[in-house]
Amino acid sequence: MPDTLPEPQAVCNPISRSAIFLVATVSRAEGKADVVRSWCGDIAALVRAVGTRAPSANLSCVCGFGADAWDHLFGAPRPASLHPFREVGSGERRAIATPGDILLHIRADHMDLCFELAAQILDKLGDAVTVVDEVHGFRYFDLRDMVGFVDGTENPTGKSMAKYTLIEEEDPDFAGGSYVIVQKYLHNLDAWNGLTVEQQELIIGREKLSDVELDDSIKPSCSHSSLTTIEENGEEVKILRHNMAFGRPGAKEFGTYFIGYARTPRPIEQMLENMFVGRPPGNYDRLLDYSRVVTGGLFFVPSADLLDALPDRKPDTASSAAGESQQEDSRAGSLNIGSLKGTSHDE
Ligand code: HEM
């Protein structure tokens, strides 16, 4: 990660054992946008206040904004690749878009910390937001997901984590930021567990117990691992996933919360196309025969520096300050706010 990049949010923090995912809509009533803007400046202090009490639990919170919310709360300029979640597929295999203005991805190794932070954060927001989806996630034993496979093995590590997830020179006003796509899947676990382990392994593309990737000679082109391996200009493009299992056995609810970070939404959208439509079309991901997707959202995650500065960024202020900011392009390198550099906002 270049030293000049603004401080990112905790996107690249290690995999945790627990997480809470909150998706909320922002009230369009008078004065509520002010509450949300001002809250942006409080998040880091709340994470410190809760997290310092149990440092070994690695508490973190990543906050993202949907396209409509960004325009409503902060106005122009908008992050270059931010757009509403694009639905893909058809019929029973359709990745749907569902409402959501703010995403909170709260992580820690102990659920009590996630719970406490979620409660404090929501308390500050009051009736300025309505929570439309809340998922409390966990990892099974050796970091397995709800379908019983180790999840996250092929995530980028080391320096490449930042390379694949953080915006750099392609959108200087928003450098240090990321994009994140979330989807909530519900599994038909009876049907999944009715398969043999060998059948499940062919669907995922890895061995279940050892987590070793299947040999190319037996791994089907429709395996989950094949369809989510993509290349751009001859190079593999990775994303960073922090999926979590969730559910309520009493209600026969068994789910996986998918969360993927990248420096543009494009690779994740391509993976979704491959999974839902197929590569080539029809050669789709058989995991979807056992999983139903019930939510979908795309959010922009500002850098931690920009998040801290958002309370001062009212839409009208941003546009009237645009001329001023253009003359002060050098300043944009420090905070990356308020500068209109003529970047394309249509990917
Ligand atoms: C039902 C939801 C899902 C489940 C249970 C699931 C599970 C898994 C598992 C077990 C692996 C193999 C281990 C690993 O490398 O992490 C994997 C790999 C992967 N998944 Fe998923 N996944 C789900 C949805 C998605 C979605 C929606 C995407 C992207 C849009 C995605 C992208 C990937 C990628 C990029 C890999 C690594 C592929 C490789 O390089 O081999 N997954 N997933």
Question: For 215-248, what is each residue's pLDDT tens digit?
Answer: 999 999 999 999 999 999 999 999 999 999 999 9
The predicted structure's pLDDT at residue 341: 33
pLDDT of 50 higher than 50:
yes
pTM of the model as a whole = 0.92
Nearest of 179, 26, 184, 22 to residue 97 by alpha carbon: 184
Neighbours of 291 (CB within 10 A): 23
Q: Whose CA is nearest to atom 43 of ligand 1?
A: 151
Q: Tell me the pLDDT band of 3, cut-offs 50, 70 and 90.
A: confident
**C-alpha–C-alpha distance, residues 198 and 319, integer Å:** 58
272 lines ligand 1 (CB under 6 A): yes
pLDDT of 4 higher than 90:
no
- Ligand 1 atom with the smallest distance to the CA of 152 is 16
Q: Tell me the pLDDT band of 317, cut-offs 50, 70 and 90.
A: low
Q: Which two tokens stand for residue 277?
A: 């439509």
229 lines ligand 1 (CB under 6 A): yes
Q: Average per-residue pLDDT in the chain?
A: 91
Is 71 a known active-site residue? Answer: no
Question: The tokens 């590569």 sit on which residue?
Answer: 279
Mutate-to-test residue for ligand 1 from 243, 244, 257, highest number of ligand atoms within 8 A of CB:
243
The predicted structure's pLDDT at residue 342: 32
Catalytic residue among 101, 133, 145, 151: 151
For residue 290, give the DSSP letter: S
Question: Long-range contacts for 223-232 (Cβ within 8 Å, ≥24 apart)?
Answer: 223/285, 224/275, 224/285, 224/286, 224/287, 225/154, 227/271, 227/274, 227/275, 227/278, 227/279, 227/283, 227/284, 227/285, 228/271, 228/274, 228/275, 230/267, 230/270, 230/271, 230/274, 232/267
Nearest of 297, 10, 240, 19 to residue 135 by alpha carbon: 19
Q: Tell me the pLDDT band of 76, cut-offs 50, 70 and 90.
A: very high
Q: Which two tokens stand for residue 181?
A: 């796509």
Whether the CB-CB separation of 262 and 249 falls below 8 Å is answered with no
Helix (DSSP H) and strand (DSSP E) numbers for the chain = 13, 14
Q: Tell me the pLDDT band of 53, cut-offs 50, 70 and 90.
A: very high
Q: Whose CA is nearest to atom 37 of ligand 1?
A: 154
Q: Tell me the pLDDT band of 15, cut-offs 50, 70 and 90.
A: confident
pLDDT one-digit tens code per residue, 96-119: 999 999 999 999 999 999 999 999
Among 128-142, 182-196, 219-233, 315-329, name the one with the lowest average pLDDT.
315-329
pLDDT of 320 higher than 80:
no
pLDDT of 194 higher than 60:
yes
Nearest of 43, 174, 228, 181 to residue 120 by alpha carbon: 43
Q: Which two tokens stand for residue 149?
A: 């496979």
Mutate-to-test residue for ligand 1 from 183, 215, 224, 238, highest number of ligand atoms within 8 A of CB:
224
- Ligand 1 atom with the smallest distance to the CA of 205 is 12
Q: List phi, psi (to 5°) of 261.
A: -105, 145
The predicted structure's pLDDT at residue 273: 98
Element (H, E) at 47: helix 43-51
- Ligand 1 atom with the smallest distance to the CA of 185 is 1
Q: Tell me the pLDDT band of 212, cut-offs 50, 70 and 90.
A: very high
